[in-house]
Amino acid sequence: MASQATRLRLGQLADSVRLILFRQDRILLNAGELFWSPRSAESLEAEFSALLHIGEFGGSRYLAAELDVEAGLESRSLRSLLFSETDADLELLSRARQLLNWYGTHRYCGICGSPTVLREGERMLECTTCSHQFFPRINPCVIVLVTRGEEVLLARSARFRTGYYSCLAGFVEIGETPEQTIEREVREESGVEVDNIRYVESQSWPFPSQLMLGFLADYRSGDIVPEPGEIEDAAWFHVKNLPPTPSAGVSVAGRLIEGYARSMRDPL
């Protein structure tokens, strides 16, 4: 049952506002639709977390909230929507999920343990006792396609779908540049050395809050030795005979692979 405070908050919102509602990492659908009006959300009779400002698009302001119950609603995981929604909608959903994750994991101060509160007009949580401030965290990662002429180095882990391969990837560690991370990750995961590292493009990846930095790198030396416990298989593939890989429509890995393969098949 929604509290009086929740009903009051929803009742004060303009009709043009759209809400993105989550319950435990799943998006709650409004008769199959992604977004809720304040009136339709109020009818759920559920308790909401703080309403977090996501952004404005197409003349509407978008807010996100976490529900305390599923309320018998149809729901979808964010991953399941990657292939079916527009880029604009996915950007809103991605930002909503990341901000709700940040809010949910910083309800109490990591310094003194006191509750935190949202500061009006700023995307920040502040401790009610020691005033320590917490801002949304983004975790930088690199993803790299290693190339050797018309061949590319692809790998798979045990968590991949059967038969699928992708680029090598890893988190940027403290004190590293992205280029240093690439050299280390490629060496650790495949045993080979690279050079001529060049940036291509980036992608926000909300699982839970990564920023993927996509690169190409040239093979320099070494034989492939997959990292035990991390890489199930790694191999060189000719661009005309690639295994199943992530879709270029939703993944920077897919775009790196597709773009390089196209440049080899159809050189200028």
* Spatial contact of 159 and 231, defined as CB atoms under 8 Å apart: no
17 and 78, same domain (yes or no): yes
174 and 257, same domain (yes or no): yes
Q: Please, what is the Cα angle at 40 between 38 and 45, to 5 degrees?
A: 95
Give domain status of residue 166, yes or no. yes
144 and 132, same domain (yes or no): no
Give domain status of residue 182, yes or no. yes
* CA–CA separation, 160 and 9 (whole Å): 43
Q: Per the structure, how many domains does the chain have?
A: 3
Give the domain CATH number at 64: 3.90.79.20
210 and 238, same domain (yes or no): yes
Greatest mean pLDDT range, 68-77, 118-127, 182-191 = 182-191
pTM above 0.95, yes or no: no
Give domain status of residue 2, yes or no. no
Residue-wise pLDDT for 197-244, tens only, equals 999 999 999 988 999 999 999 999 999 999 999 999 999 999 999 999
Residue-wise pLDDT for 9-26, tens only, equals 788 899 999 999 999 889
